Amino acid sequence: MLIALDVPKRWIKAIEKIIRASLWRNRKEARGSHCPIAWERATRPLKFGGPGIFNLETLGWALQML
């Protein structure tokens, strides 16, 4: 629900950091050396070769346009 509102970018970055950390190492913090693929590639849809994780900034923008 927060995504559809005008949420500060730092909140979105903090949430994405938690998502990245839980995906890669199941820890509170993610570091670049532990990531098997780049975050930009991880947020690609399944049909474009990614695992289909949502980019929260783009998703929030799209929901605000509705």
Which three-class secondary structure string do you get for 14-43?
HHHHHHHHHHHCCCCCCCHHHCCCCHHHHC
**pTM exceeds cut of 0.85:** no
pLDDT band at 57 (very low <50, low <70, confident <90, very high): confident
Per the CB < 8 A criterion, the answer to whether 19 and 42 are in contact is no
Whether the pLDDT of residue 16 is over 80: the answer is: yes
Q: Which domain holds residue 47?
A: 2-65
For the chain, the average pLDDT equals 77
Give percent above pLDDT 70 in the chain.
74
Average pLDDT over residues 8-37: 73
Query: Hey, what are 32's tokens?
Result: 């670049």
Closest CA to 36 of 48, 23, 46, 49: 23
Whether the pLDDT of residue 36 is over 60: the answer is: yes
